[in-house]
Every structure is written in C-alpha cells, then in structure tokens.
A and B are shown apart, each in its own frame.
Chain A
Amino acid sequence: MNNSVNSLSTEELSAIDEELEHAPYRSAVAIDALKIVQSHRGWVSDSSIKEIANYLEMSSEELDSIATFYNLIFRRPVGENVILFCDSVSCWIRGCAKLEKHINKTLGITRGQTTEDDKFTLVPVPCLGACDKAPVMMVGDSLHENLTEESINRILEDAAVKGKER
C-alpha cells in the first residue's frame, strides 16, 4: 500500500488541528474530522478511516462506528452531486413520492445508487425544514423548493453541466 496516496493532506490536517484547539481530547473532533476529509475527497474510504483514527488516537473500529451512524458521512463513493431528497410528511402530502419516481426514471437510479456517469447520488433525508415550500430537495449545497417534474428536469440538467455545486 502506498501510504502517501492515502495520508491526510496538509489542508486536511490544518483544518483538523483548528478543531483540536478547543477540544478537551483528540477523539472529541471525530465528526468534524470525518466531515473535513469528506469535503476534500467526496467520501470517507477505509484508508481515510485508518488515517483519521490514527491521527485522533482512537481505534479505526470506534471511528467507523461513528462514521456509519451519521447519514451525511458517506462510506462509499458518491456522485459529483448528492441529491438529498426530502420524503418527510409535508413533502409527502404535497406529492414527493411521485417526484421521486420521476427522478428514478430520469436518472435511472433509486435510493442509495449513483448514476453511471458519477454525476448524481440519490439519498432520502429527514425533513429539510422548508415545509411551506414543499416538495423540496437539496442538490449539493443548494436547496430547491416547490418542486415539479419540470423544475426537477431543469435543476438536474443545470447541475450535470455545472458539476459539483458549491
């Protein structure tokens, strides 16, 4: 195994160090560190888990038990844009089930899957807190409200062209 490929970058380490400045012990920043590494690499691989755990002086197993608990930490590669699709009650009343089927058909993926061109990953998300504009979803960091099949087509086309939304 080539260590240099997987070791944490200077940027990642300095971001983790910043969190450590106000933490009482190293493993306290476990979730922050996972988020930092994911923001650089898109997801958290087994070797990233080992690297982070080593740096925070905890076991890989303990860190993995934390990583797998949280739904916004991705332990498998994801597409350029992750679609966080709200399927909670207000969006459901406003017809999100039909819209999810539309996405399934348009992109050829169901929940947890990534498109073949690695553009999109579709996952459900708990209520996004924009229920007065239901149905809603996030694509990357952007919130999209009052969704219809037409607006979803437009949003997905734009995101596919633009690449990773920031």
Chain B
Amino acid sequence: MITTPLTKNVHEDRRVVLVEDYEANGGYQGARKSITQMTPSECLQVIKDSNLRGRGGAGFPTGMKWSFVPMDNVSPGHKYLVCNADEMEPGTFKDRLLMECDPHQLIEGMICGSYTIQADIAYIFLRGEYVKAAETLSQAIKECYAKGYLGRSIMGTNYSLDLYLHTSAGRYICGEETALINSLEGKRANPRAKPPFPQVSGLWGRPTIVNNVETLCNISHILDHGPEWFQELGIGEDAGTKMYGVSGNVQNPGCWELPIGTTIREILEVHAGGMLPGYSFRGLLPGGGSTDFLVEEHLDLAMDYGTIGKAGSRMGTGTMIILDDKTCPVGMVKNLIDFFAHESCGFCTPCRDGLPQTAHILQDMSSGKGETRDIETLERLVKFIGSIGNTHCALAPGAMEPLQSAMKYFPEDFERHAEGKKCNYCETD
C-alpha cells in the first residue's frame, strides 16, 4: 500500500531519480494502463471519482476542469495541456522539489492528462530561475522520446503527443493561468478576461488545460491504483496527499508529503519541530503570501480546502509561513504588499494604483510616521481592492487577504504604528 505516492522515489540527498529506477518502481504503469487499456472518457471518470482538487492554490476539482474540454472533434486542430511550473507564490517551495527530484513523475502525469483530454501538444511553463529543474526536465523529456513515451504512436497505440519545456523570463503574474497562456504565446503576461475559459479557448484560441505541477504528479498514480485508493489517502473530506511546507523561525523548516487533512498543529509541531528557541508563535499564513492569517485558536484545524475556508482563509499552496513574536505583523504585511505592488501587471487601476498606495501607507506606519487615519484608509482600500469583480484578476484581492486578517487579529500592532510609534522589530530606515 503506497501512502506517499508523490515522494516515494525521492532520495534523501535530493539527487534526481533516474528513469530506470522510476520504471522499476512502478513508473509509466499508469500511462501504459490508461493509453493501452482505457478510453479517454474512462480516464476522465476515474479522475472525477478520485475527488482530486487543484494543488496550485484554488482547489478546483481537476476532473470537472477537464470535463469542459470539447471532445467532439467538430473543430479540428490542436488541443493543449500546459503544466503551470511557475512556482512564485511567496513562501511556496513544493513544486521545485517534485521537479528537481522526480521529473518523470510529472511527465507521466502530463502524458495521462493529455491523453484524457486528447491533447496532442503539451508544455511545461517553468520559471526561469529554476535552472536545476530545467536540466532534470530536459533530460527526462529526451529519455521519454527515446523510449517511445512521447512522440508518434506512444506505446504502440495511435496516440501521439509532443511535449516542450518553456523556460520563462520572470514575473509572478505568469502563474495566473490566462496570463501564463499569453506569455506562452510570446506576449506580455496580462491576464485575459473570462469567459471564454481556456478549456474552450486558450492557447492560440484552442482548448487548453492549465494544471499545477503537484496536481499533474498525482494523475498517473490515480489511474494506476484507482480512485478508492486515492480517496483513502486523505484524512478528512479531501482525497489524496498534500505537499505541506513550513518556513519562518521554526526548528526544522521543510516540505513533507502528508495525508491531506493533517492538522496545522501536527505539521508545525511534529514535522517542523515547533518554534526556534526564543521565538513564540503568533500566527501563520496557511498557503502562501495571498492567504489570510490564522492564529493560535486555529492550530487544531485540518489543513484541507473546506476546513481552512470555513476558518476564513484558504489552504492555497499548503506551504505555511509562520509569524513569530519577534516579527512585526505590520512589517510582514508591508513586505507582502510591496511584493504584490511590484508584481502587478499594471492592467487595472485598483491593482496598479491601489497596491502602491497601500504599500506607501504601510511604509509610513512601519517607519514611525503613521497617523491615526491610516487604519481607516487601509480598511477602505481593503474593501475596494479586495472585492472580486473590482479587479481584472485575483492578484490584488489576494494581496488584501493577509492585510485584512492581520488588521483583524493583530489590531494592537496596527494601532501602535498608527500612533506614529516605532517598533522594535520593524526596519526603521
């Protein structure tokens, strides 16, 4: 019984898993089974039944996303599967591990996914800074062509697939799926208006599925072992495992594959070893820089989409960032807002102008030049920028999540800074 499908091959020293070892350990069985024995609609049903949800942050059911791709072949032409390997959410470091350590797992998942939606071309959109992952993936793609897992007539069938690695030239916004598509087309990475959704009209106007690395890494295992096996891997209402991570001033920062639904406390105290000596816990961002803070009272919650959602945050990427008592929440939020202001694509006003204004106020507050009206201004900005529908994409509303929740859970810090007082832990240059 495999309980950690995503990391079962990963070596302790993080050297890459060789194709021979990957195959010897059950690799390419999921792809072989699906392509030679199952129809695309049977594969889709298995993924739907597995209850797999997108691991990139939004948690959208993968099977449902795939089911929107037209399968009638009324309009002949290409269909595309794109792997979103543009990992850049602050505090997120899970996809790097999966790609550097076991690149064939991702490629096999992409072969299965492409077969299911009958895509004939697939892309890996990899951030430019992931130099090692680019090397391991390029090598793995070459091996797949040599072994007949990619190219014409895969595994003796009439199914053909070409897979290309695209290394990006930067910018966080490329992680937004329609911005990613524009970037893959060689354009500026401005998000597109939806509808039409990419499943119908995506890359070069053709049906396109964009999935996160971790999501795709699950696919071959589900097809190989079945949806029931996958469901049983999870603890609560969600299915499968999750790559959880912890960063900040903790004893043992890292990334672990655990049953989805493991409690925050277990991840933080058992796996990350608790806080470093001299630091105490104040709060955490559960899944990257654009999720709402959670605090002490939430530590026994299960890290799954529904539970964290009900607590007023999002599981996001599942990689937590810990706020300690020697880090100022105002300064931490300022760092995040600076990031999002810098990474705005500049397309819509609330994001392009609203985020720098928010950053400016937080700069003043953290450097001891705060004014009492600042809190009211921030609240107004949160309301205006944070409402989905006011902005072209989810970047600016995401940026408001840590700010609004920090103001809710750490009001004394914001009040202190709004009185123009300096802080022991904020940069005061």
Contact = CB atoms under 8 A, between A and B. Distances in A.
Interface of A: 22-24, 27-32, 34-35, 65-66, 69-73, 84, 87-90, 92-94, 97, 125-134, 138, 141-143
Contacts of A23: 186
Contacts of B136: none
B185 interface: yes
Contacts of B339: 87-89, 126-127
A35 B183 CA distance: 13
B190 to A, nearest CB: 9
- A22, A93, A97, A129: most-surrounded residue (chain B CB, <10 A): A129
Interface stretch (B103-111, B168-176, B295-303, B371-379): B168-176
A92 B170 contact: no
Contact of B289 (A24, A84, A89, A134): A89
B162 interface: yes
B114 interface: no
Contacts of B307: none
Given A31-B186, A84-B129, A93-B248, A131 B321 contact: yes
Contact of A132 (B185, B188, B247, B249): B247
A89 B321 contact: yes
Complex A-B, nearest 6 residue pairs according to Cβ-Cβ distance, in ascending order: A70-B169, A131-B247, A30-B186, A72-B170, A132-B253, A71-B170
A28 B96 contact: no
A132 B335 contact: no
Given A93-B324, A127-B88, A132-B246, 14 more contacts: A35-B167, A65-B188, A69-B345, A70-B169, A72-B128, A72-B129, A89-B332, A93-B332, A129-B92, A129-B127, A129-B129, A131-B91, A132-B255, A143-B132
Nearest to A73: B169
B413 interface: no
B189 A69 contact: yes
Nearest to A142: B131
20 contacts: A28-B185, A31-B168, A71-B169, A72-B129, A73-B169, A88-B339, A89-B91, A89-B336, A90-B90, A93-B249, A125-B170, A126-B339, A126-B343, A129-B92, A129-B130, A130-B96, A132-B93, A132-B246, A132-B247, A134-B247
Contacts of B60: none
B187 A90 contact: no
B171 A70 contact: yes
B289 A88 contact: yes
Contacts of B129: 72, 84, 125, 128-129, 138
Interface string B321-363: 1111001000010011001000101000000000000000000
A141 B128 CA distance: 10
B257 to A, nearest CB: 14
A53 to B, nearest CB: 12
A131 B319 contact: yes
B238 interface: no
A37 to B, nearest CB: 12
A23 to B, nearest CB: 8
Q: Which secondary structure dominates where chain A touches chain B?
A: mixed
Contact of B247 (A28, A31, A66, A90): A90
B245 interface: yes
A124 to B, nearest CB: 8
A144 to B, nearest CB: 13
Contact of B335 (A31, A70, A89, A130): A89
Contacts of B427: 97
A69 B187 CA distance: 9
A88 B204 contact: no
B169 A34 contact: yes
A94 B249 CA distance: 7
A9 B144 CA distance: 32
A130 B339 CA distance: 17
A72 B131 CA distance: 13
Interface in B91-139: 91-93, 95-96, 121, 127-132
A30 B186 CA distance: 5
B87 interface: yes
Nearest to A89: B90
A7 B123 CA distance: 30
Given A126-B88, A132-B254, A69 B96 contact: no
A22 B247 CA distance: 40
Contacts of B93: 129-132
Contacts of B415: none
Contacts of A22: 121, 162, 164
Contacts of A131: 91-93, 245, 247, 253, 319, 321
Contacts of A92: 332, 335
Nearest to B203: A24
A159 B132 CA distance: 19
Interface string B23-41: 0000000000000000000
Nearest to A34: B169
B89 interface: yes
B392 to A, nearest CB: 16
B172 A126 contact: yes
A127 B90 contact: yes
A16 B175 CA distance: 25
Contact of A93 (B88, B96, B327): B327
Contacts of B87: 129
Contacts of B345: 69
